[in-house]
Amino acid sequence: MHIRGILALSVLTFGTAHAEVPQQPESTVSVTERTAVTSSSFMVSAAHPEAAAVGRAVLADGGNAIDAMVAVQFMLNLVEPQSSGIGGGSFLLYWDAAEDRLWTFDGREKAPAAAGPDLFLDPATGEPLSFWDAVVGGRSVGVPGTLKLLETVHERFGSRPWAELLEPTIDLAEAGFTVSPRLAGAIAEAIEDDLGRFAATRDYFLDAEGAALAAGTTLANPAFAETLRQIAAEGSAPFYTGDLAAEIVATVTGAEGNPGQMSLDDLAAYEVLTRDPVCMEYRRNTVCGMGPPSSGGLTVGQILGLLEHVDMQGLGNSPTAVHFFLEASRLAFADRALYMADADFVPMPTEGLLDSTYLMLRAQALDPEASIGKARAGNPPWRDARVLAPQSQPEPGGTTHVSIVDAAGNAVSFTSSIETGFGSRLMVGGFLLNNELTDFSFRPMAGDRPVANRVEPGKRPRSSMAPTIVFDADGELRLVVGSPGGARIIDYVAQTLVAVLDWGMDIQSAIDLGHFTNLNGDTTLEAATDAETIAGALEALGHKVNIADQNSGLHGIEAVPEGWRGGADPRREGVVLGD
């Protein structure tokens, strides 16, 4: 699908209000400004220096953006294991410059065929399990998709040999990498949430006394090296149909106290799907993201669509502009809670939610002098909406994002996750297994109405991942961005877009900006940033304001006259590298 044809086929929908849950820590830090990096040829922005370095090496050696992405993700699995890996799922936006075409690939996890709507209900009481009782063990593990996605897109677009792209990670897994302060901190805090329940995970992340590994420790992973050797030689086959598949199933179904329902047939049947991107015109730019089962691109798009009716440029980065942003987010998340789920299973009111009249009417609720408070879902021109009930569910984030542009102008916006930091706490072959099924609604019904995002066999849980690519008015690549952060990913990405497209910030300054988020509840301002200073102004408008860490992991690249300019989130340890 060519860029000029995207809008005619695009679709948007949205967000759920999520209850606050103790987010699996990623070792938060105060935000300190960084200097944007420029490059004339190629660029990679990733969440760990080792991963960015291997991506840069691939690009410098003539590899393309897909080659670099493959190498980066395998390295992230090793050095940032709590956030992503082949035991999880992912979404990819890929801009093919030669073909003038934007592709989106769905590598999201799937529910096993044996999983039903009662998966997260206590059989004794019929009530939902507590969040952590659901997470820890095999019950929460979805059929992973990241490895299949990497293989699928490499076979289609890659230029370097597959095995060559795995070699750096194999070598470092054997030799050992240095445990970073962020990883050490995450391990220490995750101990409180059963990180040590299962032997393989306990033996890898904790020392002989059961304490977290210290920063600076050299940590080898020979089991992962062996897994990667099999994958280098045979592709994804060992993972989905071979001995490794059998080990995954045995681990999931044998998890003491909380077994899962995954089968060998579930793994063998997994497919990566090519989907249409969802795009929204904003200030003469075309902002494109991932469609269902991700709600990220859809909800970002609706926030921007509502803000089209506000002079955000004229207001600048002011309390009034932030107020309008938060109110637009409320409206978008209200719609997301009711309508959004895997469109292969649930009819989606996509045309209605994008309807220009509908968005114009929703935008009339944006009042410069008062907050609307808790927003209700809108009534787009779609009758079937009446049978659905909204969902409210925790959505912590154990996720990573990679932005890459190669010398030919191809671009990758890739967000990958195992859900909560350290996922299900189950480890196989040197990698962690996800807990993505807890992204489903624990309650399948609200009264006599089904929740759109309920568990169903083979269904992909709703996600907030929002890999994004922006094109200018001439259809030229302008911006590549994305973030981890659970449900707050949506606001992190939308805020970054507003900062660049409305307020004229460079990508690094936009990423550095203190966060302000609202998931259709309280407003949260990022602690230890300038965002705190507008708390009083927002409270005067009726916002209930909380001050808290908001640990995004934004990584972005923008086109500039010199070539490319990149930014990496100072809240984490990622870097930008170019030529």
Q: How far apart are the first and last CA of the chain?
A: 30
**Active-site residue flag, 241:** no
Determine the Cα angle at 561 with ends 557 and 563, to 5°: 50
The residue type found at 41 is S
d(CA 492, CA 335): 18
Sequence-separated (6 or more) residues with CB below 8 Å from residue 479: 468, 469, 470, 497, 500, 507, 556, 557, 558, 559
Phi and psi at 45, nearest 5°, equal -125, 120
Specify the DSSP class assigned to residue 532. G
d(CA 576, CA 561): 18
pLDDT of residue 315: 98
Cis peptide before 467 (omega within 30 of 0): no
Q: Residues 527, 547: contact at Cβ < 8 Å?
A: yes
Annotated catalytic residue, options 16, 350, 399, 523: 399
pLDDT of residue 450: 92
pLDDT of residue 363: 97
E-state strands within 337-476: 398-405, 411-419, 427-428, 431-432, 445-446, 449-450, 468-471
Q: Residues 275, 293: contact at Cβ < 8 Å?
A: no
Tell me the whole-structure pTM to 2 decimals. Answer: 0.94
- pLDDT under 50: residue ranges of the chain: 1-30, 385
d(CA 180, CA 172): 15
d(CA 15, CA 297): 11
pLDDT of residue 553: 97
Beta carbons within 10 angstroms of residue 343's beta carbon: 17
pLDDT of residue 349: 78
Kind of pairing between the strands at 445-446 and 218-219: unpaired
pLDDT of residue 13: 27
Residue 39 tokens read as 């490059």
Kind of pairing between the strands at 523-526 and 545-548: parallel
3-state secondary structure 14-49: CCCCCCCCCCCCCCCCCCCCCCCEEECCCEEEECCH
| Distances from the Cα of 537 to the Cα of 60, 316, 320, 548, angstroms | 49, 15, 8, 17
Beta carbons within 10 angstroms of residue 99's beta carbon: 12
The tens digit of pLDDT for each residue in 326-335 reads 999 999 999 9
Sequence-separated (6 or more) residues with CB below 8 Å from residue 251: 138, 426, 427, 428, 433
User: Among 306, 307, 273, 305, which residue's Cα sits nearest to residue 292?
Assistant: 273
d(CA 12, CA 303): 10
pLDDT of residue 395: 63
d(CA 566, CA 140): 36
Determine the Cα angle at 439 with ends 433 and 443, to 5°: 130
The tens digit of pLDDT for each residue in 274-306 reads 999 999 999 999 999 999 999 998 899 999 999
pLDDT of residue 33: 73
Tell me the torsion sign for CA atoms 386, 387, 392, 398. Answer: negative
Residue 211 tokens read as 């304490």
d(CA 402, CA 48): 10
Q: Residues 218, 176: contact at Cβ < 8 Å?
A: yes
Secondary structure class of 290 (helix, strand, coil): coil
What is the DSSP secondary-structure string of 149-189? HHHHHHHHH--S-HHHHHHHHHHHHHH-EEPPHHHHHHHHH
User: Among 297, 342, 568, which residue's Cα sits nearest to residue 453?
Assistant: 342
The residue type found at 104 is T
Beta carbons within 10 angstroms of residue 279's beta carbon: 29
What is the DSSP secondary-structure string of 120-143? TB-TTTSSBPPHHHHHSSSTTPPB
pLDDT of residue 27: 35
Q: Which H or E element spans position 225?
A: helix 222-234
pLDDT of residue 348: 82
pLDDT of residue 509: 97
CA 310 to chain CA centroid, Å, is 28
SS3 content of the chain, % helix, strand, coil (to 5): 35, 20, 45
Secondary structure class of 286 (helix, strand, coil): strand
